[in-house]
Structure 1
Amino acid sequence: MMTSLAYERHGDPAAPSVLLLGSLGSDRRMWSPQIVALSPIADVIAVDHRGHGESDSVAGAYTVPELAGDVLTLLDELGVDAVHVVGLSLGGAVGQWLAAHRPERVRSLTLLCTAAVFEPAQQWRDRAETVLADGVGSIADQIVGRWFTADLAQRDPELVQRHVAMVSATSNDGYAGSCRALAEFDGRADLARIVAPTLVIAGAQDPATPPETMRELAEGIADADFHVLDPGAHLVNVEQAGRVTALIRAHITRSEQVGVYRSAAVEVGMRMRRSVLGDAHVDRAMSQATAFTQPFQDFITRTAWGDIWARPGLDHHTRRLLTLAILTAVGNEHELDMHIRAALRAGMDPDELIEVFLHTAVYAGVPNSNRAFALGKQALADLGD
C-alpha cells in the first residue's frame, strides 16, 4: 500500500534533484541546514516518511521496500526520473534499497548514521510496543539524547527541546510501523549491487550507528568514500552542518561530472555495439533489460564497447578475429554464436572463420574448435536461408 508523502521543494527544478530522507521520529525540518545550503545549486526535495511530519499515517507494520515505494510514487508524481539520494538512519535504509533495487533512479547516494542491518531486531519490536502503549512522547527525551553529543546538548538546550517536540509530534502508528521496518530490514546482501557513487558519513560519538557500523557499509559498497566527523552523534547533519553540507555538495558535483563522462561513454559504446552486432541484436537486448539487468547492460556498453572496442590501436576486423578466437578458446558458446553471426552479417569471408578455428584448435584444443565449426556451419545455413 503506497502512502501520500508530504514534502518541501526548494531551489531550481531544472538543476540536479537532491532527495533528503530523514531519521526515524523526525520530519523534514531536520534537514533545514542542508536545504538552505543546497538550494542554490540543486532542486532540493525534503520528504516526510509515512507516519512522520505531515505525511499520511497508516496503522500496522511497515517495510523498507514499502517506504521506498512511497518515495518512488512521489518522484513519479513530480516528474523526477533520477535523484541524488541523501538518507540518514531510517532514510539511509530506504536509500540503500533504492540504490540496490532501482539503480536507474539514483544518481548518487549519501548515507549518514545508518546501517545495513539494525541489530538486535528485538529492540525495535519492543520499542514499537512501547510507543503503541504509551505514545512516542514517552520516549522522546531518550531518543533525542542519542541525537546530539552531551556538549552540544548542554550548550544549546533550545535545540534539544525543538527536536524533542519534533519526535513527540510523530504519530504513534507511524513511529511503531517504522520501528518494525527497521527490525526486518537486512540490506547486507544488496550492498555489492549498489553502483551509484556513494558517500558514507559517520558521527564519532553516535551510539545508535557507530563508526564501525558505518565502516561496514563503506567496505560493502564499491569505491564508497568514508568520513567520520568528530564531534558528532546521530544527527550529525545538524551538529556538523557545515562539514556535512560541504561533503554532500562535493559528492554531488563529482557525481554529476562522472555522469557526464558515463553518458558520453554510453553514447560512443552504443554506436560501436550497433556497428559490430547490428541493430536487431542490440534492440532485442535492450528491450529485454530489467531493473535487475540494466546495470550490466550499462556496464557492457560503456566498457566493452565504449572503451575497448573504440580504442584506435586495432581495427575492427582484427578485433573481430581476436574475439572469435578467444571465445572459441574459452568455450563460450553463447557469445561465440552471437559473434559468428554478427561477423557473417557484416560480410566476413567464411574462409577467415575456418582459419581462426583451425588456428585455435592447435593452441587451445580440438573440442572447442570442433564446436566452433558446428556453430559456424549452422550460422551459415541459417543466414543462407
Structure 2
Amino acid sequence: MIPDYELTGPPHAPVLVLSNSLGTDRTMWDAQLPALSARFRVLRYDQRGHGKTPATSGPYDLELLGRDVLDLLDHLEIGRAHFAGVSLGGMTGMWLACNAPERIDRLALLCTSAALGPASGWRERAEFVRTNGTSAMVRSTLERWFTPELASRRDVSAKYGAMIAATDDEGYAGCCEAIATMELDERLAGITAPTLVVAGYDDRATPPEHAERIAGSVAGARLEVLENAAHLANVERPEQVDRLLGEHFAGEEQRMSLGAEEAAGDGSAPGRTGTGTAVRRQVLGDAHVDRTNERTTEFTAPFQDFITRYAWGELWASEEMDRPTRSCVTLAILAATGNHDELAMHVRAARRNGVAVETIRQVLMHVAVYAGVPKANSAFALADRILSEEDEQSGA
C-alpha cells in the first residue's frame, strides 16, 4: 500500500520522512514543519488506518507498516532518506533500520519503545476499540499524551481529541496488534544508522527507561530527555525538538561546515564555540545557560568562552562517549573533589541526559568506597535535595 502523503521543502534537499504515532495523523508534525522544511525535503505520511490512509483488515505487524514506507519511497523514487518517528512511528523506524538499512540514512526515535508489553494489554485495547470505537479512547489518551497543563488547553484537547476520534477503528486496532507482536529489543544492536533517541520526562506511555534501553543498545546513539514533556514531546516542546532534529539530521554536513570554519579561523575556533553553545544548552538547559549569559561580565567573558569552546564544544560534543556516561563520570569527579555548586548543576543535567536516579545513587556509592564517606555523605545530601525538588516540580 502507498500511504497518503505530502512533500514540503526544497526539491533537491535531503529527504526526511516523518511518521506519526498511534491515534494521530501527519499533522501532529505541524510545529516542526517550518523549521525542517527550510533545510529538508520533508515527507509526511499517514500510518495505515490513520488520517487519509485507508485501513485494511487487521491484525497488522511492523513489517506491514514498514513496507508501507518502502512502497512510498519506491513510488517517489527515493533511494535513501532520514527518518523520524514518534511512538508507533519510532517503532516503524526501528523496523526499517533493522530490515532495510540501505534505505535509512539517519534515524530519530521520539517517545517510543522496542518492547511495550504486555501483549495481552494491546490485544485487549484492540478489541475494546473494535467494540466501542476510537472516540471512547479520547479522554484516557489525552491524559497520557500531554502534561496536565497542556491537556487542559481547549485548543489542544479539541485538535487532538478530534484526531483520535477520526482514526479508523480497524486501523487503530490493527496497529495495536502490531505493537503487541513487535520483537525489536533483541535486534537493536544491528542498527547502524546514526540514531537520536528522545524521551519526555513526564511520559507515562513510554517512560524514559524505554529510551534508555534503546540508546544503550544502539551503538553510538544519543539520548535526550526533555523536561515538562509527556508522550507527544514534539507538540509539547516544539522548539527543543526542532533544534534536536535539525542538529541530528544535519549530521556530517554540519560537522564539516564547522570544521571548515575552524580551519579558516584566526584561532578563536568559532565552530567549536557555536557547537559548544548548542551542546551546553542541550545538557544544562536553556534557563541555566541564559542565566549564565546574563551574569557574564567583561572580566568573566574570556573564561566563559574558554569552557564553551573546550568543555562543551570539544569534550561534551565528542561522540566517543555517550552523554549518560559522561554525566556519570562528571558526577563522580565533582562529588569526589567536593565541588558542590557544580555537582548540583550536573545532577540536574544527568537527569536531562536520561540517567536514572538509581544510577546516580550507585555513582555516589562508588565515591563513598573510593574517595571517602564524608565526601559521599555531602554529595548524597545535595543530590537528594535536587532530586526531591524535581519530584515536587513534576508532581510525582
Instruction: Give the TM-score, by structure 2 length.
Output: 0.64
Q: Which residue does 1:191 correspond to in 2? A: 188
Letter in 2 for 1:24: L
CA distance in 1, matches of 2:255, 2:168: 41
CA distance in 1, matches of 2:117, 2:28: 24
Q: Which residue does 2:33 correspond to in 1? A: 35
CA distance in 1, matches of 2:253, 2:105: 8
Q: Which residue does 1:146 correspond to in 2? A: 144
CA distance in 1, matches of 2:111, 2:222: 14
Q: CA deviation at 1:144?
A: 1.7
SS in 1 for 2:71: helix
SS in 1 for 2:161: helix
SS in 1 for 2:106: strand
Instruction: Give the TM-score, by structure 1 length.
Output: 0.65
Flag the 1:111–1:225 CA change in 2: closer, same or farther, 3 A: same
Q: Which residue does 1:51 correspond to in 2? A: 49
Q: Which residue does 2:212 correspond to in 1? A: 215
Q: Is 1:173 aligned with 2:170?
A: yes
Q: CA deviation at 1:37?
A: 1.4
Q: Does the aligned pair in 2 maintain the 1:26–1:170 contact within 8 Å?
A: yes
Q: CA deviation at 1:173?
A: 0.7
Give the 5 Å matches for 1:75-94. Answer: 75-94=73-92
CA distance in 2, matches of 1:255, 1:46: 23
Letter in 2 for 1:50: R
Q: Which residue does 1:22 correspond to in 2? A: 20
CA distance in 2, matches of 1:179, 1:92: 14
Letter in 2 for 1:175: Y
Q: Which residue does 2:374 correspond to in 1? A: none
| Unpaired stretches in structure 1, ≥5 consecutive residues | 261-385
Letter in 2 for 1:229: L
SS in 2 for 1:146: helix
Give the 5 Å matches for 1:114-263. Answer: 114-154=112-152, 156-256=153-253
Q: CA deviation at 1:157?
A: 2.0
SS in 1 for 2:164: helix
SS in 2 for 1:62: coil
Letter in 2 for 1:8: E
Provide the aligned C-alpha RMSD in A. Answer: 1.4
1:15-60 deviations in whole A, cap 9, x for unaligned? 0100000100100000001112111100000110010000021012
Flag the 1:172–1:255 CA change in 2: closer, same or farther, 3 A: farther
Q: Does the aligned pair in 2 maintain the 1:197–1:255 contact within 8 Å?
A: no
Flag the 1:255–1:110 CA change in 2: closer, same or farther, 3 A: farther
Number of aligned residue pairs: 257
Letter in 2 for 1:112: L
Q: Which residue does 1:305 correspond to in 2? A: none
CA distance in 1, matches of 2:221, 2:144: 26
CA distance in 2, matches of 1:41, 1:224: 23
Flag the 1:210–1:93 CA change in 2: closer, same or farther, 3 A: same
Q: CA deviation at 1:101?
A: 1.0
Q: CA deviation at 1:4?
A: 2.6
SS in 2 for 1:49: coil
CA distance in 2, matches of 1:74, 1:124: 27
CA distance in 2, matches of 1:207, 1:98: 26
Moved more, 140-149 or 130-139: 140-149
Letter in 2 for 1:252: F
Letter in 1 for 2:99: H
Select the structure of larger CA radius of gyration: 1
Q: CA deviation at 1:118?
A: 1.1
CA distance in 1, matches of 2:135, 2:253: 42
CA distance in 1, matches of 2:112, 2:11: 28
Letter in 1 for 2:212: R
CA distance in 2, matches of 1:80, 1:259: 25
| Unpaired stretches in structure 2, ≥5 consecutive residues | 258-396
Q: Does the aligned pair in 2 maintain the 1:4–1:50 contact within 8 Å?
A: no
Flag the 1:258–1:221 CA change in 2: closer, same or farther, 3 A: farther
Flag the 1:166–1:255 CA change in 2: closer, same or farther, 3 A: farther
